[in-house]
């Protein structure tokens, strides 16, 4: 966990499910190379096999692309892309020695299609998708399965990170559109239960020959279907109006 001070909720859920004794908590900030190395060394020092790595760290930085600074964009990539890549590389030697293992990348439908106000997040997930697809082709011959899970909108804390300064700047040329975007995209709409994603990942880990991509969520499937079936101009118009990005 990035913050061990927040383990109480997970620990309570594990105890209620009767699996607390099967869980260890370790600190890991995926943008900290020393922490990654330390955890990799710990796992390698043990005799137990490593069956799976699930890269689930990530956050969404809202902001129209022209309002997001270079520093903010790099922070988005440090967690969503570079962090996942660094953690994966730290554990690949173990998988290689074993000749088996699953690496699951929790990506997003936002790694397949761009959305106004989420350009930074989209960019990081597009990068993760391409890197993971290449990694799958490199690792499959040695018995390691690499999989992308692409959820739509689920009830998580992905929006709890600090928003980009562009979202708060009344002088931005996107100020009016930003207000509409926040009203529509960050509203208190009830989102799907994220346990469905966890259950999908569990199924993938039991599958010796999983496919590359798994899309989950009605909105994710609908979005990809619309992009495939609609003329490009109609699809773009629907996305622009649906997110409040029109003038």
Active site residues: 121
Would you state the structure tokens that stand for residue 245, as one six-digit string? 């990005």
- Kindly report the number of other CB atoms within 10 A of residue 84's CB atom: 25
CA gap 60, 163 in Å, rounded: 8
Contacts for 178-182: CB closer than 8 Å, 24+ residues apart: 178/64, 178/67, 178/117, 180/244, 180/245, 181/62, 181/64, 181/116, 181/117, 181/243, 181/244, 181/245, 182/62
Contacts of 176 (CB under 8 A, 6+ apart): 247
Would you state the structure tokens that stand for residue 205, as one six-digit string? 């880990």
Closest residue by Cα to residue 59 from 192, 194, 156, 188:
156
CA gap 210, 170 in Å, rounded: 47
Would you state the structure tokens that stand for residue 35, as one six-digit string? 């922490």
* CA 106 to chain CA mean position, Å: 4
Asked if residues 203 and 134 have their Cβ atoms less than 8 Å apart, the reply is no
Ranges assigned E (strand) in the chain: 52-55, 101-106, 144-151, 213-216
């Amino acid at each position: 966990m990035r913050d061990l001070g927040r383990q109480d909720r997970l620990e309570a859920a594990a105890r209620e499910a009767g699996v607390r004794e099967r869980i260890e908590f370790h600190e890991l900030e995926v943008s900290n190379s020393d922490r990654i190395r330390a955890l990799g060394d710990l796992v390698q020092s043990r005799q137990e096999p490593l069956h799976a790595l699930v890269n689930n760290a990530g956050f969404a930085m809202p902001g129209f692309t022209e309002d997001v600074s270079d520093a903010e964009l790099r922070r988005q990539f440090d967690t969503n892309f570079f962090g996942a890549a660094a953690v994966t590389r730290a554990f690949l030697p173990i998988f290689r020695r074993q000749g088996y293992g699953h690496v699951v990348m929790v990506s997003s439908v936002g790694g397949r299609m761009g959305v106004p106000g989420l350009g930074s997040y989209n960019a990081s997930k597009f990068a993760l998708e391409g890197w993971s697809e290449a990694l799958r082709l490199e690792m499959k011959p040695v018995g390691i399965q690499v999989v992308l899970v692409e959820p739509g909108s689920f009830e998580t804390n992905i929006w709890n990170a600090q928003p980009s300064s562009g979202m708060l700047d009344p002088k931005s040329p996107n100020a009016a559109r930003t207000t509409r975007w926040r009203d529509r995209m960050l509203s208190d709409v009830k989102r799907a239960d994220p346990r469905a994603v966890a259950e999908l990942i569990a199924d993938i880990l039991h599958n010796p020959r999983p496919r590359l991509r798994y899309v989950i969520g009605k909105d994710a499937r609908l979005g990809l279907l619309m992009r495939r079936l609609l003329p490009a101009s109609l699809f773009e118009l629907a996305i622009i109006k649906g997110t409040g990005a029109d003038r």
